[in-house]
């Protein structure tokens, strides 16, 4: 089997570490790994396939001889270094928001729009969507194919993992300090996150929505190739370590009964139906963390809308919402002989 020279940018962060685990788990054909991070990680090492590998400091010249680069750093890092990697002949899969809205850069969820990976040749960059968008659209795609979605109303309950490793540590520290009777200090989040909800993720825009909420609007339309879909969202940070949850209401042109929805979803790739109200069975972050699928439950017809349907969707933000989706894109490129 052909092996590839793979670089991971931001390798010491939460998503970067998850990328290494998934590359190993899925036996991705890594012939050579080049872990990269900022100056702060100088001297650190990562373990991959039983070997300790020194972390290199990210530079513009870091990509020579590399076949594929997985970016898991912030948007500013991607904007500066992803074009350098692309100009070196690498295929870039970028997990940040830097390129998602650019028309000539594909925004890909393999279960939803796999054909778009071929468009990477425009600029040799493929964008990985927002974590909540990915987790929401994997189950919505089969419903859209059957009934054509007209409108989406989403309320997300997003884990601290979405804000990175430091955010997860802040939640853990605040819970510990609460139990010990110590003062709770917030540095990552604007308010205490332990035992609290924060109805703001990212900055507010002029229309009153946050940037995170508008990402779901913009990205849904682009990925589904349906600019006419009306989307509204409210995104909330919750005191959970891993796995985002989304309460979704859709309106479709063709009615979808709850029985038909369960049938469609049970056959969809990347989806796990877990929906038995009589036994109190429904997806929860506690059980979905560490899983690859998007779990769907609380499937029911909307009693306020003739062609409405309600869903409760939960997915691991670090895996399907970030690292796994990026690696699935890389696998798709291999399958299509595009590397």
- Residues with a catalytic annotation lie at 131, 244
Tokens standing for residue 168: 């997860």
Q: Tell me, what DSSP letter sits at residue 319?
A: I
Q: How far apart are CA 339 and CA 330, in angstroms?
A: 9
- Ranges of beta strands (E only) in the chain are 4-9, 30-37, 45-48, 51-54, 56-57, 68-71, 91-94, 125-127, 149-158, 230-237, 244-252, 271-273, 294-301, 308-315
CA torsion 204-325-280-156 (nearest 10°) is: 0
Could you tell me which residues are beta bridge partners of residue 8? 35, 70
Give the residue among 152, 151, 172 at the shortest CA–CA distance from 161. Answer: 172
Closest alpha carbon to 244 in 166, 146, 319: 319
Question: Is residue 286 packed enough to be buried (19+ CB in 10 Å), middle (13-18) or exposed (0-12)?
Answer: exposed
Counting other chains too, the contacts that 38-43 makes at CB distance below 8 Å and 24 or more residues apart are 38/73, 38/77, 41/11, 41/12
């Amino acid at each position: 089997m052909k092996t590839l020279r793979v670089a991971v940018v931001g390798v010491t962060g939460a998503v970067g570490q998850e990328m290494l685990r998934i590359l190993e788990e899925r036996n991705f054909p890594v012939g050579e790994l080049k872990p990269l991070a900022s100056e702060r990680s100088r001297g650190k090492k990562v373990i991959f396939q039983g070997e300790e590998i020194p972390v290199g400091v990210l530079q513009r010249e870091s990509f020579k001889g590399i076949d594929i680069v997985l970016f898991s750093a912030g948007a500013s890092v991607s904007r500066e270094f992803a074009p350098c990697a692309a100009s070196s002949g690498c295929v870039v899969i970028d997990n940040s928001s830097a390129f998602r809205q650019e028309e000539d850069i594909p925004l890909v969820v393999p279960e939803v729009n796999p054909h778009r990976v071929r468009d990477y040749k425009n600029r040799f960059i493929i964008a990985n969507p927002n974590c909540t968008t990915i987790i929401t659209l994997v189950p919505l795609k089969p419903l859209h194919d059957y009934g054509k979605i007209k409108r989406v109303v989403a309320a997300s309950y997003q884990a601290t993992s979405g804000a990175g490793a430091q955010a997860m540590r802040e939640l853990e520290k605040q819970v510990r300090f609460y139990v010990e009777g110590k003062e709770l200090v917030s540095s990552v989040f604007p308010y205490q996150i332990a035992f609290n909800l924060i109805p703001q993720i990212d900055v507010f825009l002029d229309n009153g929505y946050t940037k995170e909420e508008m990402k779901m609007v913009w990205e849904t339309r682009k990925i589904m190739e349906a600019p006419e879909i009306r989307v509204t969202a409210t995104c909330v940070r919750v005191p959970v370590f891993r796995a985002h949850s989304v309460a979704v209401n859709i309106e479709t042109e063709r009615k979808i009964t709850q029985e038909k929805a369960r049938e469609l979803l049970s056959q969809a790739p990347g989806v796990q139906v877990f929906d038995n109200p009589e036994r109190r069975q429904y997806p929860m972050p506690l059980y979905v963390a560490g899983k690859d699928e998007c779990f769907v439950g609380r499937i029911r017809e909307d009693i306020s809308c003739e062609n409405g349907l309600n869903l409760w969707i939960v997915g691991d933000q670090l895996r399907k919402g970030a690292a796994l989706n990026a690696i699935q894109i890389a696998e798709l490129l291999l399958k299509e002989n595009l590397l």
